[in-house]
Amino acid sequence: MKYLMALFLALMVTACSSDPAGISIENSNQNVVIGNAVLARSLAFNNAHTSKVNGLMKASVVVASKVNTDLNLQYRFYWYDAQGLEVSGSDAPWHQFVLKGNDTMMLQGVAEKSEASQYRIYVRKAEH
């Protein structure tokens, strides 16, 4: 039954994802949602942290490269209220970055609305 529930949750997240070719991490349970097998083998996430800045939620997560080559990537934060509903203002642009081979980088974002109490960050290959 546990396996079935996990599979159902994974399918729901995949079905609702607007970017099936990326990876996301949720702050509520630190689960990584993987939509791209190559990125899944190339990246690791850790040290997810949240704080408040002027009443707004600030999130940060460290992404680490597990490969020797540079990765051209993009990330974007989505913000949610306490009920899990997306907060308006989550339509920020994608931020492009280069993760050097075997290096780490901290990705950060600040919610635009004080209602935000949860987040999800998506990482995908950069679109050229």
CB 42 within 8 A of CB 66: yes
Report yes or no on whether pTM surpasses 0.95.
no
* Residue range(s) defining the domain that contains residue 74: 2-125
- The CATH code of the domain that includes 113 is 2.60.40.3230
Confidence at 1, pLDDT banded by 50, 70, 90: very low
Q: What is the CA radius of gyration of the chain?
A: 15
Q: Between 25 and 1, where is the model more confident?
A: 25
Residue 4 reports pLDDT greater than 50:
no
- Once rounded to an integer, what is the mean pLDDT over residues 34-62? 90
Q: How many domains does the chain have?
A: 1
**Residues whose CB falls within 8 Å of the CB of residue 106, separated by 6 or more in sequence, listed in order:** 47, 60, 61, 62, 63
Q: SS3 string of 40-51?
A: HHHEEEEEEEEE
By mean pLDDT, which of 6-15, 29-38, 96-105 is the weakest? 6-15
- Once rounded to an integer, what is the mean pLDDT over residues 42-51? 92
Query: What's the CA gap between 126 and 76, in Å, rounded?
Result: 12
Per-chain mean pLDDT for the chain: 80
The model's pLDDT over 78-96, given as tens digits with 9 standing for 90+, comes to: 899 999 899 976 678 899 9
